[in-house]
Each structure stands twice: as C-alpha cells, then as structure tokens.
Amino acid sequence: QKLVEHRENKERDERATEEKRKIELDEEQKEKERIELECEKNQKGDEEKQLQKGKEKFRCQRQKEKQQLRSKGTAEETRLQNERQASQHPMIGRMYTLRQSMNLILVTTNYLQNEQSSLSQIRDENPLEAHKLDSEVLWSNALLKAQGATVRDKVQMLKKSIKKQKKLKQRSTKKWQERLEQTEKLHSDKQQKRVENLQKRKDEKKAKQKKQMSVEDLLQKDLKMAVGSKIRIAVSSLPTDITCEEFINKLKTMKDIENFLQKNDNADAVIILSVKNDNDGPSRQLGLFVQKFEYINKLNSYIRQDTHGLDLQERPIPINQARLKLFNQKNVQASSDEILSIMEQYVKNFDQ
C-alpha cells in the first residue's frame, strides 16, 4: 500500500509540474505577442510621422514653385505689355517673318511719307508749330532708342530694305521651284525605273517559261479541234512572240508533233498559228503538218483559196520535210476562230 501511495503521489507531482510548465509557456507566448504588437504599433506610428513630414515638404515645395511661377508670370506680363506698347508705334522693329516685315516696312514708309507731307504743310503755314513737332518726334525716337528698340525713321533705308527683301523673296521662290522640279524628277525617274524593272522581270519569266516548255506543251496550250467522222484537224495557237518559224527551228524530228496528234484523238493534221508584235505592227504565220502525205496537197489548196481571205504566202522551211508547210499570213485580221471555222467546213466537206 505504501508503494502504491508513493507512486500515486509521484504521478500527481509530475502532473502538477507539467501543468505549471504549460502555464508558464502560455504566459511567455502571450508576452511575446504583446511585445510584437507594441513594436508594430511603434513602427506604424513612425511611418505615419514620416508620411506627414513628406507631405509637409511637398507642400512647401509646391508653394515655392507657385511663387516662382507667379514671379515669372508677372515678369512675362510686363515684357508682353512693353512689347505691345512698343509695337503700337510703326517705326519700332521686332523679329518678324519675311511677309510680316515686308508689310511693316511698307506701313512705316507710308506713315513717314504722310508725316513728312503733313509737316511740310505745317511749315508753310506755321513754322514754330512745325519746329515743336520735329522736336517731339526726335525726342520720342531718342527715348525709344534708349529703351533698346530699333527705330525706323529713314525712308531711303526703308526703301532699300524693301528691295532687298523682294530679292530675297524671289530667290527663295526660285530655290523652292528648283527643289520641287528636282523632287518631281526624282520621283518620275524612280517610277520609270520601277516600271522597267517589273517589265524586265515579266519578260525574263516569260522567256524562262518558253524555254522550259516542250513542243507538246506549246501546241497544247491553246488547242481547238475540228472533228469529223473521217478526218480530225487540230488548230493550235502558239504563245505570243513565238513564231511558227522559230517553233519549226526548235523541232529536231517530227516525232514530237506525231506524239501530240496521237494524244489528241489521233488527229490527222495540225494547223499552227502564231502572232508576233513588232514596231511595224502585228505579224502572223501559219504552219501546216499532216500525218499522211496524201492530205497535204488537199489541205494546202483548200487553205490558200481566195474565198477564205487569209492571203497566205508560202515560205521555205529549214527542215526537209514534205508533210510540213509554212506560210506568212498577210491578212492579220483573220483570227484563230475564223481559221477554225474554215477547218470545220473542210471537215464537213471531206465527210461528204
């Protein structure tokens, strides 16, 4: 029993000590929190004080700036007032543009001339009064010069300045005109160069395409057919600036044309048309190729009939080939559609 009681007492003491420790720790933590809150309050107070000081400084600076602006404004107002007072007198000079100075000089010359004429009249009538007026004018001019203003009171000098300014104006207008002409010329030159470059690029592109195109491609580009039950004729227009003669020179053998005819419904003949634009005007050529030799004479005689109005003139060809013919078409107005209609009529007659 004594041992049990001893253990219980020991456990109670331990519990009591633990509770005391907990209470002490809680008190310490609360004390720390209180100290932290006080520190934060002090910091906030310091920040508020600093803000107030900054605001006061800003207010002082603003007041100083306002005072400076007011002082400047008063000085500026006085300066403008003096200028206004001075500008009321036409003989006082300031910095003007060319047009303003010209107008001012003309006004002053007129003013002085009128004043001199009135003074001359007064001299004739009352010389004492004229003397007084002369002295007043001299005194006013002297006072203005003392103030620092330029007084224009000599008519001859004013006239010279008018001439000088007129010359300056003429010179400036001449320079401006030259500048405009130069800019226009540069613009036109650039535009012309651009147009030439674009045209050159187009021509190079076309030439490249033409070089790359084969015989079959050239014939296939603009192809029309006149088809009958017994005979089929192809009418092909070459691209511009490629003549039939150049096309024939490009041919190495007749196999290219024969392959072209086989691909197009196994046609019996092909009529090749070309147009070329020269300085003299457009020129046309017509070429004729047949697969069978027996068709060449019939087609040749039919195309060259005067009723069709093609006005064909036969030309020699560089290739020794009896199935191929080349003509100069003098009737330039006859288009490919008209020749196609002629071939369609030939096909109908051939079927009959």
Domain-embedded: residue 197: no
pTM of the entire structure? 0.43
Which has more confidence, 350 or 167?
A: 167
pLDDT of residue 181: 92
Q: Same domain for 258 and 285?
A: yes
Query: What tokens appear for 87 in the block?
Result: 């500008």
**pLDDT per residue over 225-273, tens digit each?**
888 888 888 998 888 778 888 888 877 667 888 888 888 888 889 998 9
Average pLDDT, the chain: 77
Average pLDDT over residues 77-81: 58
Cβ proximity of 340 and 236 under 8 Å: no
**pLDDT per residue over 286-320, tens digit each?**
999 988 888 888 888 888 888 888 888 888 887 77
pLDDT of residue 192: 92
Cβ proximity of 152 and 158 under 8 Å: yes
Band of residue 190 on the pLDDT scale cut at 50, 70, 90: very high
The count of structural domains within the chain is 3
SS3 of residue 237 by DSSP: strand
pLDDT of residue 245: 84
Q: Same domain for 269 and 252?
A: yes
Which of 206-220, 250-264, 281-295, 338-352 is predicted least confidently? 206-220
Q: Same domain for 132 and 232?
A: no
Which of 80-94, 161-175, 206-220 is predicted least confidently? 80-94
Which has more confidence, 1 or 163?
A: 163
pLDDT of residue 194: 93
Average pLDDT over residues 133-145: 70
Q: Which of 162, 178, 206 is the last residue of a domain?
A: 162
Residue 87 has pLDDT above 80, yes or no: no
Residue 106 has pLDDT above 70, yes or no: no
* CATH code, domain with 275: 3.10.310.20
Domain-embedded: residue 257: yes
Q: Same domain for 70 and 104?
A: no
Residue 98 has pLDDT above 50, yes or no: no
Average pLDDT over residues 199-223: 78
Which has more confidence, 96 or 125?
A: 125
Spell out the residues 6+ positions from residue 76 whose beta carbon is closer than 8 angstroms to its own: none
Which of 149-158, 172-181, 285-294 is predicted least confidently? 149-158
Q: Same domain for 122 and 245?
A: no
Q: Same domain for 246 and 345?
A: yes
Domain-embedded: residue 191: no
Domain-embedded: residue 322: yes
Query: In which domain, by residue range, is 138 found?
Result: 93-162
Percent of the chain beyond pLDDT 90?
7
Comparing CA positions, the residue from 260, 250, 313 lying closest to residue 289 is 260
Band of residue 27 on the pLDDT scale cut at 50, 70, 90: confident
Domain-embedded: residue 196: no
pLDDT of residue 89: 45
pLDDT of residue 80: 54
Domain-embedded: residue 207: no
Domain-embedded: residue 254: yes
Q: Same domain for 123 and 105?
A: yes
Q: Same domain for 225 and 336?
A: yes
284 phi/psi in degrees, rounded to 5: -120, 150
Q: Which residues of 94-103 are buried (b: 16+ CB within 10 A; e: fewer)?
A: eeeeeeebbe
Domain-embedded: residue 209: no
